Structure 1
Amino acid sequence: MAIELKKGGDTHRIDLTKRTGSNLNGEIVINLDWSKGNGGFFGMFKSAIDLDLGCFYEMRDGSKMLIDGVQFSHGRGGNRDQQTRQGCYTKSPYIWHNGDDRGGNAQSGENISVNPAGVNDIKRMIIYTFIYEGAARWAETDAVVKVAVPGTETVEVKMGQQTSDKKFCAIAELNFNGDNSITVKKLVTFHNGHADCDRAYGWGFNYTAGSKD
């Protein structure tokens, strides 16, 4: 049974020391899934909705970065054992984006994997999504972020029927407490792109225009 954070600011603490089961070393998966908007009779008259999953992250040594499909397009990514703009699973930052669902056709959406071996080296993450192309049709997405830790209940943050005309949404914040625990917080705040979200949450990056084409 999943634990749903229903209101902005709601939190849930995941204690990794209290996990049960046989897969306690399995990866932590942050999943974004949504209704692709191209099913059914009426769906034939609508273009598919393409959301992109990304994250800001900060390490305990003070280093910061962000990972999303625009950043690691054009061959700037790699496999989970390489340190690239797609992240790295087996060494710092212990965070790896599984790849861009460019067409919005994947059944399971997009995923970011976090290595449990690195949870005490990571300080915080903000999980975000944005609409790469087209109008802001959030109400049609039914988007949900799930934080799945093997041996614990999955934590869900649902976007709900949002009507904002801004195309960038910070959905959840993950605070890594340094004691083998993670606190998940519901955000669901809307912004005019990466830089606007950056200013709202104090990351301090500089931005230039990018493209996946």
Structure 2
Amino acid sequence: MGFFDNLFPGRGDPFGAGNGMSHSIDLTRRRPTVSLTKQGAASGNLRVNLSWRMRTPDLEYRSRASGDLLRHPMRLFRPAEVPSHTQGLAKVDLDLGCLYELTDGSKGVVQPLGDLLGEINEPPYVKLSGDDRLGSGSGETIHVNLDHRDEIKRLLFFVYIYDQTPAFDRTQATVTLFPSNGPQIEIALDEHAPQARSCAVFMVENVKGELVVRREVRFVYGFQSELDRLYGWGMQWGQGFKSRT
């Protein structure tokens, strides 16, 4: 049976989409780390999901607008009035990526740009399952095969805005980790950084055989090359593009 035969609900258990745990751990500035090893989750499939949606004020505006139409039905025939900060929100395209470094010294990136989707049963043991361009409920997901944890030195998960329009302050983005055991781990990208184009969200490091997740939530104004510089990956970067769908 292939690895991905077990990634989805109803197809098996060992690398399933979660363990049904209803509670979660929030990584914050005050509590920035958690050990996957200590909670018995340093093996199997680690699922990392990015999701985002409109921020609450935009939703409240639409709710108020709907109420106004009920009281004043003739407004239905007027041109729609939309707050300026919601202009183009539907075009915001957040991408999830992962910089990896293995214990043999090999380095690289898994991301939608350049169709660098990775591999799950061979190096780098990191696989992007898809590219969500609309902020749907499923979001974007990267799978990590922790059965090869001894070959993984560190993984830096990051989020960037593909269309280069700063908009982190207009979305409610959350990255959620679903380990093979124990509660899910949530990291909110909730710090005020309206001009940032990328964010280093969290690091997974192999520290003397212990897998530790550390919150970063470090916003930058550049892209992958700037994250590379900040975390010392030492790779060469060029311009990349997504394939058309």
- Structure holding more helix per residue: 2
Q: CA deviation at 1:186?
A: 1.0
2: CA distance between counterparts of 1:111 and 1:172? Answer: 15
Correspondences of 1:86-165 after superposition (within 5 Å): 86-101=117-132, 103-133=133-163, 135-165=165-195
2: CA distance between counterparts of 1:136 and 1:190? Answer: 11
Matching residue of 2:14 = none
Count of aligned positions: 195
Q: CA deviation at 1:36?
A: 5.3
Matching residue of 1:81 = none
Can you list the C-alpha shifts for 1:62-115, whole angstroms capped at 9, x where unaligned?
11001110121xxxxxxxxxxxx31111122211111211x3243121011011
8 Å CA contact 1:53, 1:129 repeated in 2 = yes
Matching residue of 1:71 = 114
8 Å CA contact 1:121, 1:178 repeated in 2 = no
> % of aligned pairs identical?
28
Q: CA deviation at 1:46?
A: 4.2
Q: Is residue 11 of structure 1 aligned with residue 40 of structure 2?
A: no
State the Cα RMSD in Å.
2.5
Matching residue of 2:76 = none
Secondary structure (helix, strand or coil) at the match of 1:120 reads: helix
Report the TM-score, using the length of structure 2 for normalisation.
0.71
2: CA distance between counterparts of 1:187 and 1:169? Answer: 9
Secondary structure (helix, strand or coil) at the match of 2:202 reads: strand
Q: Is residue 51 of structure 1 aligned with residue 69 of structure 2?
A: no
8 Å CA contact 2:51, 2:136 repeated in 1 = no
Matching residue of 1:211 = 241
2: CA distance between counterparts of 1:121 and 1:57? Answer: 11
Report the TM-score, using the length of structure 1 for normalisation.
0.81
Secondary structure (helix, strand or coil) at the match of 2:229 reads: helix
Matching residue of 1:33 = 51
- Larger of the two Rg values belongs to structure: 2
2: CA distance between counterparts of 1:17 and 1:136? Answer: 37
Can you list the C-alpha shifts for 1:98-142, whole angstroms capped at 9, x where unaligned?
1211x3243121011011211121110110011111521212221
- Alpha-carbon distance change, 15 to 172 in structure 1, aligned in 2, over 3 angstroms: same
Matching residue of 1:182 = 211
- Alpha-carbon distance change, 156 to 62 in structure 1, aligned in 2, over 3 angstroms: same
Instruction: Give the unaligned 5+ runs of structure 1.
Output: 73-84
Q: CA deviation at 1:9?
A: 7.7
Secondary structure (helix, strand or coil) at the match of 2:180 reads: coil
Secondary structure (helix, strand or coil) at the match of 2:150 reads: coil
- Alpha-carbon distance change, 134 to 26 in structure 1, aligned in 2, over 3 angstroms: same
8 Å CA contact 2:50, 2:140 repeated in 1 = yes
8 Å CA contact 1:8, 1:186 repeated in 2 = no
Secondary structure (helix, strand or coil) at the match of 2:101 reads: strand
Secondary structure (helix, strand or coil) at the match of 1:119 reads: helix
Query: Residue 105 of structure 2 is aligned with which of 51, 62, 65?
Result: 62
